[in-house]
Structure 1
Amino acid sequence: MRGFQPRLVPDHRAPFAWRECLLLMANARQKPRLFYSRSTCWRQYHNVIATCIPFFAAFLIWETPMTPDDTAHEPRASHQQEHPPAPSPHETTMLQLLREMREQRLALQAEHQLAASERQVERRWKMAFQGVFFVAPLIIGLLYFLFFLSSSGFRWGPFGEVVGVVRIHGQIAAFSPASADKVIPALEKAFANTNVKAVILSIDSPGGAPVEAERINHAIASLKKKYGKPVVAVINNLGASAAYLIALHTDKIVAGKYSLVGSIGAILAPWELHRAMARLEVSQRVYASGKMKSFLNPFTPVSPEMDAKAQQLVDQMGQTFINELQAARGAALKPGIDYGSGEVWGGLEAKEIGLIDGIGTVDDVAQQGWGLKTYDFGPHQEGFGPLSAHTDASLLRLLEHVLAQQRFQLR
């Protein structure tokens, strides 16, 4: 039917409008021009069909041959014949034309649906690319920012009544997470927060610098006087030396059954490198205004006077520790125990000799004492992530270990 052209009625019995309709349909059957849109072509086909339907009906009535005898003998109530007449050539042409137009209409509908689905897929891919190149980096940046805030110690809340927990973990030194510069701000946040009903010191430390512990003790006393909140020290794995000294300045000391408590006293452990230098034939010449000025110099031999002075300082610092122990827990201490021997005791034995008040953990103290959940106020390790924080802490511990040998430490 591609090259089909409709013919007009030879005897010109059809009206003039019918011939015009056939010509319009013949033109409509041609392939749409390239610059026409699908919607325009579809509208033209609909107009053609709507215009031609009345003329199709008139043509069928006009071309149907009827004789007077057939009209007279045909019953009015019956419109069906046992053997329908064969269609005329004009009817066949019209049916073929309508069939082809219907096929073209269905083809246009299919093309329109295909184009719509392609546009929909294109929009989805466009949105996907926009999400990958714009939304995904924004989400990743936001998550990294939140992770950075979390790793740097920033916390949301608390949003209800809680028991604040301040951690003293690791060696107590100037550059460690348990330093006074880190612990005191955490204590201030915990005491100043109105939702915090009590403060727990979570201690897990072998001790460290006595001056750092002294600063923390003064801060605890000042904050207790200002806000009137109770403070409880809970020793986890280890609470020794300067860490136990901090626990003495709280209202109550609690430790676990398997905790280690004690190591009361002082220690001074300088290096002696002059012998190793002598093997290398290297020495250091020291000029001092007094004989004790180079007291802790590791590159010069230790004189008897320097040795006696070092022991005197250690005994004095240890006795000061014992005096603070007796002032804080004198009534609970058991007679006949040498608390200044540097010994450590387990949790149960430490309770028997009066070094602690009870056995329990942080969660036990919070639930039994106030029936509230805990909220961690830190201090937290700084850095962009766990790896960098661990590396920084390792380097600081190494530097701290070297420097700590040259000053007094309660251990």
Structure 2
Amino acid sequence: MTDETNSTPASSGAEGRSPRWERDLLERLAFAALTEQRRSRRWGIFFKLFFASYLVLILVIAQSDSWSGKALSNNHTALVDLEGVISADSLANADNVISGLRAAFENKSTQGIVLRANSPGGSPVQAGYINDEIKRLRTKYPKTPLYAVIGDVCASGCYYVVAAADKIYVDKASVVGSIGVLMNGFGFVDTMKKVGVERRLLTAGEHKGFLDPFGPVKPADARHAQQMLDEIHQQFIATVRQGRGKALKETKTMFSGLFWTGEEAIKMGLVDSLGGASYVAREVIGAEEIVDYTYRENVFDRFSRRLGTAMAQTLSTDLLGRTPLLK
């Protein structure tokens, strides 16, 4: 009797304390989880704000670096680079080069401009845009001279551009010239016959399949292409004659597409003298300090250009390999 009576209250007390202990434990765990969740959320917000601020800072720095000489007030020589193939989807496109030239001419502290050219050529349209704008800017700012300085190579479309300069300087080993126009491509007619592939091309328009690489060249298409190339070639020649004037000593091979060293180009009147960018700034312009006005690609521009290039390569198939080039 005694054992049973004593055991009952003990068992009852344990049962009474158990629910309260479990409830306290669950509350503590819940509060701990809530606190940890709040801490994680605060750190998440912090890192997001930090990353966003860092990204904005990079973009601001990249944008400010795009134009390094806009706000300068000291007298200086402005530098604009023409580097690489001249085409609408490259950094050496007309918009970029012209933007740098305009900024250089508009700065009242610019004593003279050096267009530093190193390009194998490219689009006659893009080269023509730059040439025309150089002539317009020289007329608008007659007291600001523009000199072209050739690096390793200035061929075809590149020479089309620099022909508009006041004077052209070159290194003795530079490659200059290639005043001509080309249109290239491939023909796969015999290959298709050997492989046993049949070409199925439907067109509306007699010449819509112009110079189709999977079919034989039509004489009428070849004549039309040659006429177009000759016309662009004559435009090129006229631009060179206008730009170089009496300095040009024409020869039978000058406009044949050949190219020459810098030393030989001086004798032919294609360029004026030996000299680099620093020499021209110091000795010719008289402002030794050089400020770079070249357009520099920022993050957004680089992404847009690569995206645009990829889309162009995917979609532009109608005239693939059939665009005239000054190369």
Confirm or deny a common fold (TM above 0.5): yes
Q: Is the 8 A contact 1:203 1:235 kept in 2?
A: yes
Report the Cα distance in structure 2 between the residues aligned to 1:374 and 1:321, rounded to whole angstroms.
Answer: 32
- Tell me the CA shift for residue 407 of structure 1: 0.8
- Alignment partner, residue 12 of structure 2: none
RMSD over aligned CA atoms reads 3.3
Q: Which of residues 297, 301, 306 is equivalent to 2:212?
A: 297
Q: Does 1:168 align with 2:78?
A: no
Query: In structure 2, how many angstroms separate the alpha carbons of the residues matched to 1:362 and 1:395?
Result: 35
* Cα gap change, 1:392 to 1:380, in 2 (>3 Å): farther
Structure 2 unaligned runs (5+)? 1-45
Q: Write out per-residue CA displacement over residues 26-72 of structure 1, whole angstroms, 9 at most, x where no aligned residue.
A: xxxxxxxxxxxxxxxxxxxxxxxxxxxxxxxxxxxxxxxxxxxxxxx
Residue 178 of structure 1 is matched in structure 2 by 92
Cα gap change, 1:245 to 1:155, in 2 (>3 Å): same
- Deviation at 1:358? 0.7
1:190 pairs with 104, 113, 120, which one? 104
Partner in structure 1 of residue 294 of structure 2:
378
Report the AA paired with residue 235 of structure 2: T
CA contact (8 A) 1:274 1:283 kept: no
Aligned to 1:155: 68
Distance in 2 of aligned mates of 1:313 and 1:150:
43
Cα distance change, pair 182–397 in 1 and its aligned pair in 2 (3 A): farther
Structure 2 partner of 1:285 = 201
TM-score by length of 2: 0.73
Distance 1:170 1:335, change over 3 A: closer
Cα distance in 1 for partners of 2:93, 2:252 equals 31
CA distance in 2, matches of 1:172, 1:400: 21
For 1:122-141, list aligned pairs within 5 A. Answer: none
- Counterparts of 2:90 and 2:266, CA distance in 1: 30
Partner of 1:314: 229
Q: How far is 1:197 from its partner? A: 1.7
* Aligned residue runs from structure 1 range 223-234, under 5 A: 223-228=137-142, 229-234=144-149
Of residues 122, 130, 134, the one that matches 1:216 is 130
- Cα offset for 1:191? 1.1
- Say which SS state the counterpart of residue 161 (structure 2) adopts: helix
Name the residue aligned to 1:104. Answer: none
Change (3 A) 1:161 1:397: farther
Find the counterpart in structure 2 of residue 258 from structure 1.
Answer: 173
Identity of aligned residues (%): 32
Q: Using the TM superposition, name which of 363-372 and 240-249 deviates more.
A: 363-372
Distance in 1, matches of 2:316 and 2:258, equals: 22
Structure 1: give runs of 5+ residues left out of the alignment: 1-131
Distance 1:342 1:180, change over 3 A: same
- Compute the TM-score of the two structures, normalised by the length of structure 1: 0.59
Between Structure 1 and Structure 2, whose CA radius of gyration is higher? Answer: 1
Partner SS state of residue 239, structure 1: strand
Check conservation: 1:381, 1:389, Cα contact below 8 A.
no
User: CA 1:392–1:360 in structure 2 vs 1: closer, same or farther (change >3 Å)?
Assistant: farther
- Candidates 121, 140, 152, aligned match of 1:207: 121
Q: Distance in 1 between matches of 2:176 and 2:184?
A: 22
Q: What does residue 322 of structure 2 align with?
A: 406
Secondary structure of the corresponding residue to residue 111 of structure 2: strand
Tell me: higher relative CO, structure 1 or 2? Use CA pairs within 8 A at least 6 residues apart.
2
Match of 1:120 in 2: none
Distance 2:253 2:316 in 1: 29
Tell me the number of residue pairs that the alignment of Structure 1 and Structure 2 aligns: 277
Deviation (angstroms), 1:378: 1.0
Alpha-carbon contact 1:172-1:178 (below 8 Å) kept: yes
For 1:236, the aligned partner's letter is G
1:283 and 1:262, CA in 2 relative to 1: closer, same or farther beyond 3 A? same
Q: SS of 1:340's equivalent?
A: coil
Per-residue deviation, 1:380: 1.8
Distance 1:285 1:170, change over 3 A: same
